[in-house]
Amino acid sequence: MGSFDLDLQTVEKEIDDGDTDREQSDRRIVLGELNGETDEREWFEVIDRGDVLVLAIEGELAELAADLAPRVKERGGNLIHFREFLIVTPADVSVDTDRL
């Protein structure tokens, strides 16, 4: 019967990588209102954690997103205006707009 080589360090590394996948599955979609009442830094922190924001726009979008948009774009994130909502994603989440 043949023998095989079990590399425990490689197995441990694979197990550790699995923890990262679990953290990504803990991501959330956060709903809120973009109305000028919430500090844009709070919204940016949501994106920085890797979560997705779906914000109902309550007012003038250009004015309300003036501080948030550049910070998100600097980090490679995405902002999509869809109907009455602003969808904001971190860099590693893309939004497919092909059907629009």
Torsion sign (Cα): 10, 13, 18, 20: negative
Q: Does residue 76 fall inside a structural domain?
A: yes
Lowest mean per-residue pLDDT among 24-33, 49-58, 88-97 = 24-33
Query: Domain containing 85: what range?
Result: 28-100
Q: Does residue 8 fall inside a structural domain?
A: no
- Is residue 4 scored above 60 in pLDDT? no
Q: pLDDT per residue over 5-50, tens digit each?
A: 656 666 566 665 554 444 556 889 999 999 999 998 999 999 999 9
What pLDDT shows up at residue 100? 84
Q: What is the pTM of this model?
A: 0.73
Q: pLDDT per residue over 64-75, tens digit each?
A: 999 999 999 999
Q: Please tell me the total count of domains within the chain.
A: 1
Quick one: how far is CA 60 from the chain centroid? 24
Q: How far apart are the C-alpha atoms of 23 and 58, rounded to whole Å? A: 32
Q: How many CB atoms lie within 10 A of CB 12?
A: 10
What CATH number does the domain containing 95 carry?
Answer: 3.30.110.150
Q: Does residue 23 fall inside a structural domain?
A: no
Q: Does residue 53 fall inside a structural domain?
A: yes
Residues, the chain: 100
